[in-house]
Amino acid sequence: MGAIGTAVLLEYLLDERAEREDLEVVVLTSGAKMRESEAKLAEKLKEFDPDLVLVVSPNASLPGPKEAREILKGKPVIVVSDAPAKKVKDELEREGFGYILVTADSMIGARREFLDPTEMALYNSYVINVLANTGALRLVQEEIDRVIGEIKEGRTPELPRIVVTAKKAVEAGRFSNPYAKAKAMASYFIAEKVAEITVKGCFVEKDPQNYIPLVCSAHEMMRTASKLAEEAREIEKSNDTVFRNPHARDGRILSKTKLMEKPS
Amino acid sequence: MGAIGTAVLLEYLLDERAEREDLEVVVLTSGAKMRESEAKLAEKLKEFDPDLVLVVSPNASLPGPKEAREILKGKPVIVVSDAPAKKVKDELEREGFGYILVTADSMIGARREFLDPTEMALYNSYVINVLANTGALRLVQEEIDRVIGEIKEGRTPELPRIVVTAKKAVEAGRFSNPYAKAKAMASYFIAEKVAEITVKGCFVEKDPQNYIPLVCSAHEMMRTASKLAEEAREIEKSNDTVFRNPHARDGRILSKTKLMEKPS
Amino acid sequence: MGAIGTAVLLEYLLDERAEREDLEVVVLTSGAKMRESEAKLAEKLKEFDPDLVLVVSPNASLPGPKEAREILKGKPVIVVSDAPAKKVKDELEREGFGYILVTADSMIGARREFLDPTEMALYNSYVINVLANTGALRLVQEEIDRVIGEIKEGRTPELPRIVVTAKKAVEAGRFSNPYAKAKAMASYFIAEKVAEITVKGCFVEKDPQNYIPLVCSAHEMMRTASKLAEEAREIEKSNDTVFRNPHARDGRILSKTKLMEKPS
Amino acid sequence: MGAIGTAVLLEYLLDERAEREDLEVVVLTSGAKMRESEAKLAEKLKEFDPDLVLVVSPNASLPGPKEAREILKGKPVIVVSDAPAKKVKDELEREGFGYILVTADSMIGARREFLDPTEMALYNSYVINVLANTGALRLVQEEIDRVIGEIKEGRTPELPRIVVTAKKAVEAGRFSNPYAKAKAMASYFIAEKVAEITVKGCFVEKDPQNYIPLVCSAHEMMRTASKLAEEAREIEKSNDTVFRNPHARDGRILSKTKLMEKPS
Amino acid sequence: MGAIGTAVLLEYLLDERAEREDLEVVVLTSGAKMRESEAKLAEKLKEFDPDLVLVVSPNASLPGPKEAREILKGKPVIVVSDAPAKKVKDELEREGFGYILVTADSMIGARREFLDPTEMALYNSYVINVLANTGALRLVQEEIDRVIGEIKEGRTPELPRIVVTAKKAVEAGRFSNPYAKAKAMASYFIAEKVAEITVKGCFVEKDPQNYIPLVCSAHEMMRTASKLAEEAREIEKSNDTVFRNPHARDGRILSKTKLMEKPS
Amino acid sequence: MGAIGTAVLLEYLLDERAEREDLEVVVLTSGAKMRESEAKLAEKLKEFDPDLVLVVSPNASLPGPKEAREILKGKPVIVVSDAPAKKVKDELEREGFGYILVTADSMIGARREFLDPTEMALYNSYVINVLANTGALRLVQEEIDRVIGEIKEGRTPELPRIVVTAKKAVEAGRFSNPYAKAKAMASYFIAEKVAEITVKGCFVEKDPQNYIPLVCSAHEMMRTASKLAEEAREIEKSNDTVFRNPHARDGRILSKTKLMEKPS
């Protein structure tokens, strides 16, 4: 429901080469919208009787996502959302939901004078780039993989309750070079800041003369964050220390560091 | 079914600010896999009784996508796929399907020594960037929007039958500056070439000492294509000639060129 | 007293080619420190019987800067400071002081493991670059020039009371291209955000394993902000629309836009 | 007196985190101008009875700086200046003054059609960047620190007599990677060359059609030198070999190389 | 005869510092043209009675180059050419000629609307850059050096029969870092692809509205390939692992890796 | 005789698409060497009875090139050389030779520890890039074309006597944007400065510890000059104002500015 950068590749994060034999994924989305009525998708999803449900949306404190997860209660549910969802963190925990809130997955500059499909896609390319390069996506992946593993073992999974900060993201990034890590953190901080500007541009400023420059500058920030995140990875490449953790065919997470070596 | 860059944002291309009132989107995907059995998703989809179906997958000539579209026959179906699907172009036309084949949406370097979830996400960020910046995504959007428009008017839609070449992509890109256009074309050509290398790296070479450098160089090519595509857009920005075509609330496609002006 | 980026070139901002005949500048500084006792410099300064006093320091809410301006009361005093001084904005106004608070002139990452003289100089090169490219320094210059002009005319000057936001900075930047302006704003926003990280790195985190990455990432942010600010100016260069406002020999501010034309 | 890049941060070079307890700094400057009459500042300075005096100005062979240092004779005086001061090197030595001449601290392009306060600040950001990244500023710092140390020990200090060449600068830069060192040298050579162009642009060419391109190209050279100097440091970052020599609280110079380690 | 990038520096590849005493080189070229009649240059060359002849031209399958090498038969002849010459590979071998075909040495975008002498020179600067950085030129050099060595020893030389692929080029490039190697390969692949576009632009498309963008995009591709090839070398520089193999005065090939060490 | 950047493409400058019908070019070179004995090539060349002779070499004041041109006296001879040849400017004029001295075509860093064939080729790629982008090569081309034109008309040609300075180069570069022009000039100045460093590195410094960093930094300078020269052309591209002057089939120089227009 609704677009966030973390969402667009989520199903692939868990099976990046389409060869896991232990995993069956079904994704149901309602496109960009997140009207309450669309929570009925949740009903549809229930028919699949899933072992684990990820409810992914921006601002999980809104009624639509809320209704969706209520319907799915009983199943292990992990809410994947962005910074505004921090408001319902306690509620989520109380209700037994897990959550992973990616604070750098900032709201897009959704103003018609600025945001057409092309700009939307570009923004997402920058966001995905930042989240992947800094390690944020790996943290998401590892947590969900851990839960899947626990379910496979027949255990009641310990659902993650994580706000993905810069620090946690770069820990998952497993940087060897401290400057690469600092650049990744810087990238993440900039990406987080974007939301502050887009919120102002979308909800506070009413005059196009004011809000167009704001949303445009917010996307420039994300673009720049992406370039900085690339710098981080390029450093790791130059030292042949890029950490990789591909899935094995049976779903285990392997790992490796030198490019030419075999993961294990 | 299966991952291609064009797919990951497709639902948002048609409603980039989540405010269209004329459109209800349901997406059903099977994650990275495209096993035949998963074509049963198509059955599920049929229950929604959609006005238009997009079947999106890499290599639409494989049995899975084929079965899926067979099931959905009777509905207007547009196959969105990549270069290898060119093999079944005639068949698709004969069977009454529309198609949009994005040749620069090249296969990822799917080798376990190289492709972990992070690398997968990065690659997609580059692909999306190339497709958005060059105009390819706009072409996809405009064709689908046209079909939706025809359906809304109660007409039998003329389904698109398009192989998205560099030339067609940059026409949709509406570049004002001829060098920006040439850079976008160059980016597209490089992105197309990637598939040649990944296919060799994934299916021909058997020795990791040979295929790791190949798939790694293929991703470097896509990364470079993305940088070049950005150069194209930066030129248009510097001239304040970035073309934008946002949707109106009622689904019409508006357009504008100068950043501070209103779309119409 | 104490270092802020705005300070290091302030005297030259008003006489960039050292040829104004209407201006005599004396600068008295106490190096990096801002201990209260050093406010006695203020006494020394008084001996020069200046027409206008600029009290420049980070965090003008601290006792040192406060004492200094108290001593200088009676003269027209403009406090030039950074974001934390916003706390004493009302007090400054009440006491009859002018102020210009440059919010992007963020605190340096003052941790011994990280900040040596070379890193300090680099950081300042980035800050100056951001402040100059975005227009913030021009705003400072224009306000002080205006006050000087009023004093020269024998009028009681209207002291500036300005918090330099991104919006005000780029207005002074006089960008012709809206994307250049958006990039400049983005640069300014990033530079503002730096203080949040350095404050945490210098005053909150106690463990070097935590604060070193923080201060290092903060400087990476300023470095990146500087590159983005350069992008803005390069666009204006490419259009030959760089606004320039040099001083005439008699102190008047001239202006021009095309490089090869004469200022007037 | 007068602006040179080395000057703008000189007081902070010696106390970069404002915590040295062994040092009291007073700076008196006359803004951009260096008229002879302003040498009276030297008189004022004498009242502070300093242990060490740094007389910083462009072209120390001019009457203003000369008069200033004559007045201060008797105190240990170090003249900090630029390449043109090489003419009075022998005279300075004869008169008992120390000197540090930073040849890359090239004259600015001081033509009204080109140099406004913003351009002036940008140029200084590039100069400071080059001097810091190449090691030139560290050489200045270390020499002055050495003299301060000798004074603190009650010894008659050995005043430095140094022309800072590319070679000496990069030695102080303590580069680990030989290509980083070569890039730093290249940067320094380009920065040195700038003066040749600005002198021609400011004093030889009389026609704006000729001198505007000259001074503009000179600043482009310094901008480029700065980018190259950054390349040098980025290499050291990528190897985690950035040398740092922060001051201890008591004024001793510590040193370290790996980012996460403690200086000692 | 005719221009290819490999050719322009070929004579210098074998004696890069002009100090070999075992080598006498004579070059006879006919400028850009390769008309059959010009094969008479071959006659002229014969008068020099050379020990080894290199016949360098684009597309060695054309009549001009063919006639030239026929005339020179009897001497050891190595044909140095580009990808289209692959058509006559077997013929060359049958006739006893050696060959080195550099597939990335792609045809220039030879359309009058686009290609003036300046564009021609730029394109060659990119091609040479790619060929040098990837290792392709080193492979050419080493093969010819080997043959010269065999001739010097009085042996019948084994003539090279090599199609220079990306893989062979980067092997000669002796990269230490696997990502540098992958970038170099990527660069080579892009450079190879250029020919496909220029051939279409020069021989297939007849309408300037179509062929101008094509040839222009082809040059953008080569420019981008060159930037990527530079990235590869910069990584090796950052690790101080740039392989160098200078000639000794007596023609032997020495080698070294660390910049400051002596070749041996 | 001997390598200079201007030389390597000289024959193609005059016939960039190999289709001029009014021109027959023969090139005779002696590889990298320029020993006196090799001046006998000049004798060989005479046999071709050329209408115009270009004697191209570094440092035309040396005996080899001198002897060569003496032999060719009687023919119209244009000496194409570099900065050191300025010493014999008057002599050349007196003896009736024309000359074009390209001062930015700086000597390579010819030290065995540094210069292998690959480094040599890279350096030339940078030099050619600088000379082409700044306009220097166009000036060479236009002068020679003018002389050829005069010869074709049966007139005694006025031989060029030109020292190619930054100013003259960029005039031939026909830049529309003044900042592009300034960047090109800056690039040219840096390229000129290279020779100062290489001469010191090759002939003055004897210790490898000193001369290796020097020659290495000199090549970094040329590399940087090339990047700056590219910036200049990219600006012209962004404005669609790249000047082109291709040859017509009959040898006339056409010209055009907008990419999509026809030259005339």
D138 pLDDT higher than 70? yes
In this predicted complex, what is the ipTM?
0.95
DSSP output for E115-136: --HHHHHHHHHHHHHHHHHHTH
> Please, what sign has the CA dihedral across residues B8, B11, B14, B15?
negative
Q: Secondary structure of chain B: what % helix, strand, coil (to 5)?
A: 55, 10, 35
Q: What is the reported pLDDT for B37?
A: 56
Residues D220 and F75: their CA atoms lie apart, in Å, by 43
Q: What is the reported pLDDT for A35?
A: 59
> Please, what sign has the CA dihedral across residues C214, C218, C219, C221?
positive
Across the range B41-67, mean pLDDT stands at 85
Q: What is the reported pLDDT for F22?
A: 82
From first to last of the 264 residues of chain E, give the pLDDT tens digit.
556 777 778 888 888 888 888 887 777 776 666 555 556 778 878 888 889 999 888 888 888 888 888 888 888 999 999 999 999 999 999 999 999 999 999 999 999 999 999 999 999 999 999 999 999 999 999 999 999 999 999 999 999 999 999 999 999 999 999 999 999 999 999 999 999 999 999 999 999 999 999 999 999 999 999 999 999 999 999 999 999 999 999 999 999 999 999 999
> Please, what sign has the CA dihedral across residues C230, C235, C236, C239?
positive
* Residues D68, D43 contacting (CB under 8 angstroms): no
Which residues are CB-neighbours of D199 under 8 A, at least 6 positions away?
A: D107
Rounded to the nearest angstrom, the minimum Cα separation between B93 and chain A is 28
Across the range F188-192, mean pLDDT stands at 98
Confidence class for position F64, pLDDT limits 50, 70, 90: confident
Confidence class for position B123, pLDDT limits 50, 70, 90: very high
Contacts of D259 in chain A (CB under 8 A): 178-179, 182
D43 pLDDT higher than 60? yes
B149 pLDDT higher than 70? yes
Q: What is the reported pLDDT for D35?
A: 58
Q: Which chains touch E (3 or more CB pairs under 8 A)?
A: A, B, D, F
F39 pLDDT higher than 80? no
Across the range A188-195, mean pLDDT stands at 98
Q: What is the reported pLDDT for C164?
A: 97
Mean of per-residue pLDDT scores for chain C: 91
Across the range A19-41, mean pLDDT stands at 71
Q: What is the reported pLDDT for E36?
A: 53
Contacts of A200 in chain C (CB under 8 A): none
Burial of C156 (0-12, 13-18, 19+ CB in 10 A): exposed
Minimal CA–CA distance to A81: which of A96, A102, A50? A102
C37 pLDDT higher than 60? no
Rounded to the nearest angstrom, the minimum Cα separation between B28 and chain E is 36
Q: How far is C-alpha B255 from the chain's CA centre?
A: 21
Q: What is the reported pLDDT for C183?
A: 98
Confidence class for position B139, pLDDT limits 50, 70, 90: very high
Chain D residues whose C-beta sits inside 8 Å of any chain A C-beta: 237-240, 242, 258-260
Does the global pTM surpass 0.90? Answer: yes
Q: What is the reported pLDDT for C38?
A: 59
Which residues are CB-neighbours of D202 under 8 A, at least 6 positions away?
A: D107, D109, D110, D111, D211, D215
Q: What is the reported pLDDT for C208?
A: 98
Q: What is the reported pLDDT for B1?
A: 53
Q: Which chains touch D (3 or more CB pairs under 8 A)?
A: A, C, E, F
C127 pLDDT higher than 90? yes
- Name the residue in chain E with its Cα closest to that of B219: E186
C45 pLDDT higher than 90? no
Pair type for strands A77-81 and A98-102: parallel
F1 pLDDT higher than 60? no
Chain B residues whose C-beta sits inside 8 Å of any chain C C-beta: 237-240, 242, 258-260
Across the range D167-182, mean pLDDT stands at 98
Substitution target in F177, F237, F239 with the highest count of B β-carbons within 10 Å is: F237
Rounded to the nearest angstrom, the minimum Cα separation between A235 and chain D is 6
- Name the residue in chain A with its Cα closest to that of B229: A122
Across the range B158-164, mean pLDDT stands at 97
Residues E59 and E46: their CA atoms lie apart, in Å, by 22
Are D221 and F189 a contacting pair at CB < 8 A? yes
Chain C residues whose C-beta sits inside 8 Å of any chain F C-beta: 237-240, 242, 258-260
Provide the number of CB pairs (under 8 Å) joining chain C to chain D.
Answer: 237
| % residues pLDDT > 90 (chain B) | 72
Confidence class for position D147, pLDDT limits 50, 70, 90: very high
Q: What is the reported pLDDT for E1?
A: 54
Q: Which residue has the tokens 């091609």?
A: E127
Are A114 and B259 a contacting pair at CB < 8 A? yes
Question: What is the tens place of the pLDDT at every residue in F100-138?
Answer: 999 999 999 999 999 999 999 999 999 999 999 999 999
The CA angle F199-F205-F211, to the nearest 5 degrees, is: 80
Q: What is the reported pLDDT for B25?
A: 79
Chain A residues whose C-beta sits inside 8 Å of any chain E C-beta: 237-240, 242, 258-260
Q: What is the reported pLDDT for D38?
A: 59
Range in A228-237, B192-201, E8-17, E101-110 with the lowest mean pLDDT: E8-17
Are A179 and D237 a contacting pair at CB < 8 A? yes
Confidence class for position C142, pLDDT limits 50, 70, 90: very high
D123 pLDDT higher than 80? yes
Minimal CA–CA distance to B194: which of B214, B213, B180? B214
Q: Which chains touch A (3 or more CB pairs under 8 A)?
A: B, C, D, E
DSSP structural state of residue C78: E
- Name the residue in chain D with its Cα closest to that of E237: D179
Q: What is the reported pLDDT for A68?
A: 86
Q: Which residue has the higher pLDDT, B58 or F171?
A: F171
Which range in A227-241, D53-67, E4-18 is most confidently predicted, on average pLDDT?
A: A227-241
Beta bridge partners of B75: B73
Are E137 and F117 a contacting pair at CB < 8 A? yes
Name the token pair of F199. Answer: 């001469």
Q: Which residue has the higher pLDDT, E123 or D12?
A: E123
CB atoms within 10 A of CB E158: 12
Residues A259 and F253: their CA atoms lie apart, in Å, by 53
Question: What is the tens place of the pLDDT at every residue in D87-111?
Answer: 999 999 999 999 999 999 999 999 9
Question: What is the tens place of the pLDDT at every residue in A148-170?
Answer: 999 999 999 999 999 999 999 99
Are E16 and F133 a contacting pair at CB < 8 A? no
D4 pLDDT higher than 90? no
Contacts of C27 in chain D (CB under 8 A): 27-31
Mean of per-residue pLDDT scores for chain A: 91
* Phi, psi at A102, each rounded to 5°: -95, 100
F26 pLDDT higher than 70? yes
Q: Which residue has the higher pLDDT, A16 or E113?
A: E113
